A and B are shown apart, each in its own frame.
Chain A
Amino acid sequence: MRSLGFARDDTWVAAALVALLLLSAPALAVNPDEMLKDPAQEHRARELGKDLRCLVCQNQSIDDSDADLAKDLRVIVRERIAKGDSDEQVKKFVVDRYGDYVLLKPPFRAGTLALWLGPLALFVGALWAVLAFYRRRPAEQAAPPPPPLSAEERRKLDALLKE
């Protein structure tokens, strides 16, 4: 049967293409010629790059971005790692020049307390409000429990259940 104009073969081709798409890795912004020879150092550079904001595209990390400035920062991060800087020293180097803004994960300190704890406070507040609302309802609306079944009713019920 031909449905929707697709021949059976087309369906298989389409399925194969989707499978291939799902298998393929996302394109990388990092060029092979930027990479460090030492795989451990390169891995550190990649991880650091994911935490540093691309100042041009702003919502991408320098690891993701194809912007020239992101590439420059990747190269400079790798230079510093090759020179023996720790991850913290590399981050400090970039923050000294671009401020905390360059960190995709803002640091936890007095000035950013509201940023980190605000959502939690909102959630706790909302939870409290919901609980308070529901806890009071039964007290206000609770009807008196229905009277127990009479002997006649019990007998009818038993008869019904037996059927």
Chain B
Amino acid sequence: MRRLLYVLPVVVFTVLALFFLKGLTLNPREIPSVLINRPVPEMNLAPLPGRGENSGLTTESLKGRVSLVNIYGSWCISCVQEHPVLMEIKRRGDVPIHAVDWRDDPVLGAAWLKKNGDPYERVGVDPPPGRTAVDFGVTGAPESFIVDKAGIIRYKHVGPISMEIWTRTLLPIIRQLEKQ
């Protein structure tokens, strides 16, 4: 009994220290998405000007093929960093990439693609207050979702995709989903 009283503070300290240590190594930006394994939200987004009538993003247009849905905006700084990777993915023909132009002036969104290159198959405009982005649980741009053939969200990546993240993490998931 008496010995327990001496050991207890050490035990309590150790347990708390382990919790805090774990907390320190977590990334507060990585909020687990509750939308994994749920269907993509209902949406019917208008195309960007100059990209053709049928290039807008709808819930139906995401069915039939595994695809990547990328959230971008002409105002988004990290998107500039990510863009060459998306261009490379398009060049390799790994998977169709679609985009939601989030909280953006569609004219600026289109000009941005003209300047930096257009890796997307479909682009839907989501003007403020960004209802579709909120339906996707988006917390910032860029964010990317892997959507399977049935139109179900299978994976979410927060922040810019690097070539390493693409080949190591995202592409294997996509290849796996394509087999299903």
Contact = CB atoms under 8 A, between A and B. Distances in A.
Contact of A71 (B35, B129, B137): B129
Interface in A54-78: 55-56, 58, 68-69, 71-73, 75-76
A68 B35 contact: no
Size class of the B contact interface (CB-based, 8 Å): 20 to 34
Contact of B32 (A73, A76, A99, A125): A99
Contacts of B34: 95-99
Contacts of A95: 34
B12 A72 contact: no
A55 B140 CA distance: 8
Given A75-B129, A98-B34, A129 B8 contact: yes
A56 B12 CA distance: 34
Contact of A56 (B128, B135, B139): B139
Contacts of A56: 139-140
B27 to A, nearest CB: 12
B134 A72 contact: yes
Contact of A76 (B8, B31, B131): B131
Interface residues of A, number: 21
B31 A99 contact: yes
Contacts of A96: 34
B5 interface: yes
B31 A55 contact: yes
21 contacts: A68-B103, A68-B128, A69-B130, A71-B128, A71-B129, A72-B128, A72-B129, A72-B130, A72-B133, A73-B134, A76-B129, A96-B34, A97-B35, A97-B136, A97-B137, A98-B34, A98-B137, A99-B33, A99-B34, A122-B12, A129-B5
